[in-house]
Structure 1
Amino acid sequence: MTHESTIAGPSLADVERARVTVSAVADVTPMESSHYLSRVLGQPVFMKCENLQRTGSYKIRGAYNRISSLSDEEKARGVVAASAGNHAQGVAFAARELGIPATIFMPIGVALPKLAATRDYGADVVLRGHTVAEPLRAAAEHAERTGAVYIPPFDHPDVIAGQGTLGLEVLEQVPDLATVVVPIGGGGLISGMATVLKQRAAQLGREIRVIGVQAMNAAAYPVSLAAGAVTEITISPTIADGIAVSKPGKLNFEIIKDTVDEVVTVDDDDIARAMLMLLERAKLVVEPAGAVGVAAILTGKIRASGPTVVMLSGGNIDPLIMERVISHGLAASERYLKLRIPLPDRPGQLARTSEIVAAQNANVVEVLHTRHGTGLAISQVELELHIETRGPEHAEQVLGALRAEGYEPRVDF
């Protein structure tokens, strides 16, 4: 399983060639140590910052490697892709650098920053449908009609080899690497990295563990691995839209079942907390899909011994979504309380509750006072308080103080 000849994916020689190709456009991104995550895991933890890559994600590697491999005749026909974000930008950028026309199909509701960036890279963007499935069909039809070459997001040897260049970088930056934690959507990144790391580990005569992380609401790999075959699932809404893929890539699955040691899942609250931690402690903007590895460490899903690298795979996030995620992360970390308190309808109650909260050194940031809450008696009003706290213990302290004064606060998530 760990010898080069028994792995379904690209050989080390393939990835080394891809590295030469990809180096024309992709930066060698920083590897940052994290004292906070190291304390949580109990092992040295490093963050590979592909969120700082050109176009904002690792996707440029696979896209450029695939498009570079096209014949002159294929390049003349142009390329086409379908994506809601990072793959679109990677293909558009790579095509521009190689002087090839690109058409990108994106869903109508795509985030405006991703749409603008893809257009800025010179691609012809066509909005189609409301899910990624519809742009995918449109891209396939466009390729059939025009002869343009379809560039898949993950299920192709050239794409996998391009993403695998990250495995080489990681080993050079952390030579004593013992564990790597990688986000999984369709499986392009982890299949590329795993095939490299397992082959190099075999040459070095040691073990390197590869752990994948999926969003709980879009976790096709645990189901597929248990079944022993590619299995399609129904995706539920998740903030990690960049890895919300309903079924594994065929080639990716064949590599992953032989090279990835474990796949774990995290929920949206976990991801929001991880993004907040990266902002506050590492000063890094990471999109939800790129933060799932950190979420897995924070929630205790990762077991590791020795130096551990967590992949921050992308940083492309709409500022409006970021605002919502930060609020959600604060709430999930119990640093932002939303309370509903039924009160007697008489003067002074608002002032009294505010005094109690202030006495606990908590900060009221928003107040709503209404007589129309459900379940209220005629003689009652409802007070909605939005309060900033320092964390779970402080939040419980505020709730305890209100209860001690006879109030019945209800936490509203």
Structure 2
Amino acid sequence: MKDVAGMEIPGFDDVLAAEARIRPYIHRTPVLTSSHLNALTGAELFFKCENFQKAGAFKVRGACNAVFGLDEAQAARGVATHSSGNHALSLAYAAGRRGIPCHVVMPHTAPEAKKEAVRGYGGVITECEPSTSSREAVFAGVATRTGAEFVHPYNDPRVIAGQATCSRELLEQVEGLDTVIAPIGGGGMVSGTCLTVSSIAPGVDVFAAEPKAADDAFRSLRAGHIIADDAPETVADGLKVPLKDLTWHFVSRHVTDILTAEEDQIIAAMKLVWKRMKIVMEPSSAVPLAVILANPGLFRGRRIGVVVTGGNVDLDRLPWMKG
């Protein structure tokens, strides 16, 4: 079926195919719990820890599915993308495992830890200004020069099918969930979650969590069409990009609601997890917990799967540090 901007809408068969294709290259990540956070929220929280994933983020799932699904002729030209960080380093990881070139366009403001990871996996970085329009314009030049296969960070059926394997694992690992919540920027993880949940657990609610300072998905859902901000400013650097046609297809049809959190709430939630659970999560990953804490009446009594999307942080510039 091709009815979203000429792209195939992935189905659950694509998720199963992705699961088999990427299995040698990813971790089946653990689910962790915290009695302290359960008491604090009045809910049962099950954290799906993609911060322990290969390359430190869930995006390696979609990247591996795209890279290892290429035929030999496509692979020989390499792959290319634009990304604020986690998709870039995940695509570089996947390309390195297949032994093909990887070209990425990244904002010059992207965390150094993410840039270092891209280079460590063999990726070649071209920097751009921190806006959607700049990254897309610079990328057009890179794509023309290299002839590499474009693997969009989220608006790609191969990527969405790969991300959907995360929630499939979660539903196998935890019985009786009634809610799954994940951060939303461009909507790749949320779209994959919608795909899996609507296919095998349609009674489970899917919530998306977004920074108030970059709330274009929140406003899009209420307006009934995509609203795209070009260069929002938020500590959650992975959530600055807008929805696109394919992710909007899933978000508009299957997301129960999108809720937002203020910057100080995001930082406090991130610090709380570091302190109480002793795990490293990046600011984007803290937005779901921030939303749960800000809406206790909505989530109290629920069994909630919380997707911790990544743990790639600049340890010298943690958001609660002064100066």
1:313-324 matched pairs, under 5 angstroms: 313-322=309-318, 324=319
- 2:196 is aligned to 196
> C-alpha displacement at 1:144, in angstroms?
2.5
Q: Is the 8 A contact 2:132 2:231 kept in 1?
A: no
Which of 239, 246, 249 is the aligned partner of 2:244?
249
- Decide whether aligned partners of structure 1 residues 44 and 313 sit closer, same or farther in structure 2, where only a CA change above 3 A counts: same
1:300 pairs with one of 281, 295, 301: 295
Distance (Å, rounded) in 1 between the aligned partners of 2:192 and 2:120:
28
User: What is the aligned-residue RMSD (CA, Å)?
Assistant: 1.8
Q: Which runs of 5+ in 1 are unaligned?
A: 1-7, 329-413
Give 3-state SS (helix, strand or coil) of 1:213's partner: strand
Displacement of 1:315 in angstroms is: 0.6
Query: CA shift at 1:201, angstroms?
Result: 1.7
Distance 1:210 1:299, change over 3 A: same
Of 251, 263, 272, 2:267 maps to: 272
Partner of residue 228, structure 1? 224
Deviations 1:353-397 (A, max 9, x none): xxxxxxxxxxxxxxxxxxxxxxxxxxxxxxxxxxxxxxxxxxxxx
Task: Provide the C-alpha distance between the structure 2 equivalents of 1:104 and 1:211, rounded to a whole number of angstroms.
Answer: 30
Correspondence for 1:311: 307
Q: Distance in 2 between matches of 1:55 and 1:258?
A: 31
Tell me the equivalent position of 2:21. 21
Closer, same or farther: CA 38–9 of 1 in aligned 2, 3 Å: farther
SS in structure 2 of the partner of residue 195 of structure 1: helix
Q: What runs of 5+ residues in structure 2 fail to find an aligned partner?
A: 1-7
Shift of 1:327: 5.4
The answer for the alignment partner of 2:5 in structure 1 is: none
CA contact 1:290–1:313 (8 Å) conserved in 2? yes
* Paired amino acid for 2:141: E
Describe the shift of the 1:307–1:276 C-alpha distance in structure 2 as closer, same or farther (beyond 3 A): same
Identify the residue that residue 214 of structure 2 maps to in structure 1: 218
Q: Give the deviation of 1:160 after TM superposition.
A: 0.3
Shift of 1:9: 4.2
The equivalent of 2:171 in structure 1 is 171
Secondary structure at 2:243 match in 1 = coil
Who is 1:80 aligned against?
80
Q: Are the counterparts in 2 of residues 179 and 305 from structure 1 also a CA contact under 8 Å?
A: no
Describe how 1:1-400 pairs up with structure 2 within 5 A.
9-131=9-131, 133-202=133-202, 207-245=203-241, 247-300=242-295, 302-303=298-299, 305-322=301-318, 324-326=319-321
Seq. identity, %: 34
The 2-side partners of 1:129 and 1:269 are apart by 25
Indicate conservation of the 8 Å contact 1:40/1:297, yes or no: no
3-state SS, counterpart of residue 290 of structure 1: helix
Shift of 1:130: 4.5
How many aligned residue pairs are there?
Answer: 315
SS in 1 for 2:125: strand
Contact 2:114/2:312, CA 8 A, preserved across alignment = yes
For residues 75-110 of structure 1, give each alpha carbon's deviation from its aligned partner in whole angstroms, at most 9, with x where no partner exists.
111111112210110010000001111111222233
Normalized against structure 2, the TM-score is what? 0.92
Provide, for residues 140-184 of structure 1, a one-character-per-residue CA deviation record: whole Å limited to 9, x for no partner. Answer: 222233321111000011100000001110001112111111100
